[in-house]
Amino acid sequence: MASGQVTKRVKYKTSVKDPGTPGRLLLTMEKLAFRPNNPNSASKLDMEFIYVKNHKYTKEGSNKAPMLNLTSNQGASYIFEFENYSDLQVCKEFVGKALSKPGETPKPADTSQSLSEQPSTEELLLRMNLLRENSELQKLHKRFVRDGVLTDTEFWAARKKLLNGDSGNKSKQRVGLKTVMLSDSKPLIDGRTNKVTFNLTPEIVREIFAEKPAVHQAYLNMVPNKMTDKDFWTKYCRAEYLHHSRNAHAAAAEAAEDEELALFLKPDDILASETRRKIRCVDPTLDMEADQGDDYTHLPDHGIARDGSKEITESQNEPYIRTLLHDLNRHGAVVLEGTAIDEEQLKDTQTVAEALIQSKKGNKIANEEADGNANEEKLNRISKMMEIEDLRGSNDLPLAPLSIKDPRDYFDSQQACALKTSRDAPTGTEALNCSLSAQEAYGSLRDSISQIKVVGLNDPIVTPEVAMKVRSVLTHNITSTKYHLGKNPRESVLDGFPNKIKEDLLHHWMAVEELLRHFWSSYPITTAYLYAKVNRLKDEMSKIDSQLQEMKESVQSDLRNQLTLLIRPMQQALEAAMQHYDADLQKRLAKSGERPNGYV
């Protein structure tokens, strides 16, 4: 049955509870077919493996019958019950192999490939881009995917994050509002006539509407029923101009004459109610004094065209005067709130006004909902902050109190410990290194002291030969460490190598990392697919291992030591993987020993 086809007696079921139709399962590399024993039965099945998305099987040893469950890419599942586990094993391996054969099955671009789906064109483009941008990745890809060590899917499966992260970056960021205040864009006054020109763009209109809901409301009410678009804005600009001229009296007079104009000059009711709502939302436990130090208005040149200090408020005309503080706060709030209107909608005033009202409606509902929650939360917080300590039970947090002891305790205990161990140790004559008793030892030491006293020092303390030897050893030691390890600890050992070796080394590191990542993630080996993959990886690893060995031998002797130090961890990592592989293989062989060796 050398990879050609497999035929097994099975029962075909559409669900687990189905009693099943007895018949034969025919497996070839490309497709599977079920032929019922009863030729009249309707449950005949032919399916190509490329449509199989997933396969499951019952584990040996569990009490269930040996079953293989294939899931097609349409979501239907096909269950085959085998007569015994060895049949299942054979088919399992076969299916695994058939499913993992990517390149050989001719497949149209839109069908599934091996175990995972074919990537979308978008993703392919992304991969290409990544490869183009990252030459190291490209090298790895070339080395492993082209040589068939890893499949493309496997390669990218380990880098899902890279793909995701990149696509996340591409999501368009919404552009916020400009922080420049409208009042900064001054009206153009041409010197000769008394004409004042205001330039209004849809953007400015949006800002006016957003910052002054009353104007927005008025616009919706009046245009185009009562007046034209142009009239409305002329009026508005006139009101603005009055503001700029800071002529409260004139403003009051004009407002008395023209009620529409008055609308623009009066304080904004909608705004006021909203402000009240916001004030209600302010956390009562907030320490307002805490940020008093943040005041930076004293800094010169703060970029405001209006100077608040010069605006004197006259109580009489108060309603017609907006303070700078109001404007600033309102503007800040609008900017922070952001905009729900897209750039495309910024065509003319009418659309802007309508779009704004739409978005506001949505906001309002959300706000009301949030308000309910916030209120409750607020109450909770207040009750927590207003805690009256006397009335509450003790606050039992699961904390272990820290008890740092008096260090003397520690040292005392240490001494006691040392004493104890010395006492516990068997006292006797079995001294290993020290063959002499204390008395003898002290005696001999005293002897040597008196020996010096009597004899004096030897005339040459050190013979010239020995001194020379020591000097040369020391200097050699110093020079070698100096030149090889570098004076600067930050200076990398890598820099000492020729460029070629350095590059090779780095590349090998990357390759080894990649291989090991795939290798270890393949364990435990559950499918024949993984088995084949591990085999491929193992071959590649032994190849790299020998390459490293070659590299080690190719360099000059003075660099070899350093190179060995760098290569050793790589080789150790590879060795560990190989050992694991061998051990696993042994185990598998031992397990499959009693089984007929017919498959694979």
Partner 1 sequence: MASVPSKLYSDDVSLVMVLLDTNPFFWTTSSLPFSQFLAQVLAFLNSMLLLNQLNQVVVIATGYNSCDYIYDSSSAPNHSSEDARLPALYSNLLQKLEEFMIRDEKLGKEEPRGKLASSLLSGSLSMALCYIQRVFRSGPLHPQPRILCLQGSPDGPEQYVAVMNAIFSAQRSMVPIDSCYVGAHNSAFLQQASYITGGVYVKPQHLDGLFQYLVTVFATDLHSRSFLQLPRPAGVDFRASCFCHKMTIDMGYICSVCLSIFCKHHKKCSTCGSVFGQAQSDNTSASDRKRKAPET
Q: At 34, phi and psi to the nearest 5? A: -120, 125
Cα–Cα dist 90/600, whole Å: 8
Q: Which of 283, 271, 279, 273 is nearest to 334 (CA)?
A: 271
Minimum distance of partner 1 from residue 566's CB (angstroms):
16
Q: Would you count residue 474 as binding partner 1 (CB under 8 A)?
A: yes
Q: Would you count residue 253 as binding partner 1 (CB under 8 A)?
A: no
Q: Which is nearer to partner 1, 128 or 485 (CB)?
A: 485
Q: Out of 56, 446, 568, 587, point to the residue binding partner 1 (CB under 8 A).
A: 446
Our CA angle for 173, 174, 177, nearest 5°, is 135
Cα–Cα dist 263/215, whole Å: 8
Minimum distance of partner 1 from residue 416's CB (angstroms):
5
Q: Would you count residue 226 as binding partner 1 (CB under 8 A)?
A: no
Q: Out of 445, 490, 495, 499, point to the residue binding partner 1 (CB under 8 A).
A: 445
Q: Which is nearer to partner 1, 138 or 479 (CB)?
A: 479
Q: Would you count residue 2 as binding partner 1 (CB under 8 A)?
A: no
Q: What secondary structure, in 3-state letters, does 59-103 show? A: CCCCCCCCEEEEEECCCCEEEEEECCHHHHHHHHHHHHHHHCCCC
Q: Would you count residue 482 as binding partner 1 (CB under 8 A)?
A: yes
Minimum distance of partner 1 from residue 457's CB (angstroms):
5
Minimum distance of partner 1 from residue 557's CB (angstroms):
18
Q: What 3-state DSSP class applies to 7?
A: strand
Q: Would you count residue 440 as binding partner 1 (CB under 8 A)?
A: yes
Q: Out of 75, 303, 393, 428, point to the residue binding partner 1 (CB under 8 A).
A: 428
Q: Would you count residue 490 as binding partner 1 (CB under 8 A)?
A: no
Residue 114 class from Cβ within 10 Å (0-12 exposed, 13-18 middle, 19+ buried)?
buried
Q: Out of 73, 451, 564, 572, point to the residue binding partner 1 (CB under 8 A).
A: 451
Whether the Cβ atoms of residue 149 and residue 532 lie closer than 8 Å to each other: no
Q: Which is nearer to partner 1, 282 or 452 (CB)?
A: 452
Which helix (DSSP H) or strand (DSSP E) does residue 415 occupy?
helix 407-424
Minimum distance of partner 1 from residue 423's CB (angstroms):
8
Q: Which of 495, 478, 507 is nearest to 570 (CA)?
A: 507
Number of residues that bind partner 1 (CB under 8 A): 63
Cα–Cα dist 484/562, whole Å: 8
Q: Which is nearer to partner 1, 18 or 412 (CB)?
A: 412
Count of beta carbons in the 10 Å neighbourhood of residue 196: 15
Q: Would you count residue 565 as binding partner 1 (CB under 8 A)?
A: no
Q: At 67, phi and psi to the nearest 5? A: -130, 150
Site for partner 1 in 277-336 (CB under 8 A): none
Q: Which is nearer to partner 1, 280 or 484 (CB)?
A: 484
Cβ-Cβ contacts under 8 Å for 515 (sequence gap 6 or more) = 144, 149, 537, 540, 541, 544
Q: Which is nearer to partner 1, 279 or 400 (CB)?
A: 400
Cα–Cα dist 305/82, whole Å: 86
Mark residues 375-414: x for contact with partner 1 by CB under 8 A, - for none.
-----------------------x-xxxxxx---xxx-xx
Q: Would you count residue 596 as binding partner 1 (CB under 8 A)?
A: no
Q: Which positions touch partner 1 (CB under 8 A)?
A: 398, 400-405, 409-411, 413-414, 416-418, 420-422, 425-428, 430-442, 444-446, 448-453, 456-458, 461-463, 466-467, 469-471, 473-474, 477-479, 481-482, 485
